[in-house]
Amino acid sequence: MPRSIFIQAPAKLNLALSVGALNAQGMHPISSWMVTTNFYDDLHLETLPAKSFSLFATIWNKDALRRSEIDWSISKDLVHRAHERLEMFVGHELPVKSRLEKRIPVGGGLGGGSSDAAAMLRGLNELFSLGVSTDDLCAIAATLGSDVPFLIEGGSAIISGTGEEIESLGAPPELHAVFFFPEVPCPTGAVYKQFDALSNSASQLRAIHIRALAAQPSLNPNDPFNDLAEAAKIIAPAMAEDMHEIEQLAQLPIHVCGSGSSLFALCTDPMHASALAEASTTRLHIPAVAVQTTALQPMIPNP
């Protein structure tokens, strides 16, 4: 009999992101405080008979607020690549039917594709009772992208290196926020190139600052910071205009998520977050959703 499982793939939030100068390997070292939120893509997996070809489908969830064309090739799909890498690791096929329902905007700085890949690795490990350790899953995840290893366990963590160094802080602090989704592209590569152009001297990682921030008992709306924010505003001036409009509406600091173009604000409580999301959507016509930080949710297996 086929078995199935349901996995929620959470959006990640960089509460602080410091970026170092380009190194000899052509990479930017980072120091970041990341947390997972209750804004999810949904991944449904079902086993197929032995020797079957695996099947993959990606669609937008009916609740998705900001949609774009799902036009990437299967070879570039992170969920498919995660499936292939795990098959290579265990040395045999894992025939599965995959249906991914996305809510997290593509290319929005919230790690949607990375989270989907991590969900595939976790889901296959559970579905086929593979017994692959968390360390091995993280090692596989590191071959897929810099955010994927963190999203194997989620929660709250200090991320260093190029994403492979993860210092887990356990469950995230209880924070309420709003994600805003401007309709503007903000390509990561272009943002990093602009960041390099703005950095007249070697950029210094603010690791100590980030560690101190993560140790605070509470976080103020102006505490988050992002070294890529100025570069993102230059690359996407329409996003910068949206930031200004939202700041006028919210009377709060508005921050860039990762390399953009999604934005966020910290709120005092769930009612504050819900009211701000509603106001942005109806008055500014910038889709928004109230979220809160959360640990990774358990997978739901079906018989």
What CATH number does residue 144 fall under?
A: 3.30.230.10
Please report the pLDDT score of residue 38 as a whole number: 98
Options 41, 77, 116, 147, the catalytic residue = 147
Encoded tokens for 62:
């009916």
Strands 225-226 and 4-19: what pairing? parallel
Neighbour order of strands in the sheet with 263-267: 255-256, 263-267, 176-180, 288-292
Options 12, 41, 116, 233, the catalytic residue = 12
Length of the chain as a residue count: 303
Is the Cβ–Cβ distance between 167 and 158 less than 8 Å? yes
Q: Which domain holds residue 82?
A: 1-303
In whole angstroms, what is the distance from residue 188 CA to residue 82 CA?
Answer: 21
Q: Is 12 a catalytic residue?
A: yes
Please provide residue 189's backbone torsions phi and psi, each rounded to the nearest 5 degrees: -60, -40
Please report the pLDDT score of residue 74 as a whole number: 82
Instruction: Look at the chain and report how many structural domains it folds into.
Output: 1
**pLDDT tens, residue by residue, 41-79:** 999 999 999 999 999 999 999 999 999 988 888 888 999
- How much is the average pLDDT of 135-158? 95
Per-residue pLDDT band for 169 (boundaries 50, 70, 90) equals very high
Q: Is 63 a catalytic residue?
A: no
Burial per residue of 234-265, b for 16 or more beta-carbon CB atoms within 10 angstroms, e otherwise: bbbeebbebbebbeebbebbbbbbbbbbbbbb
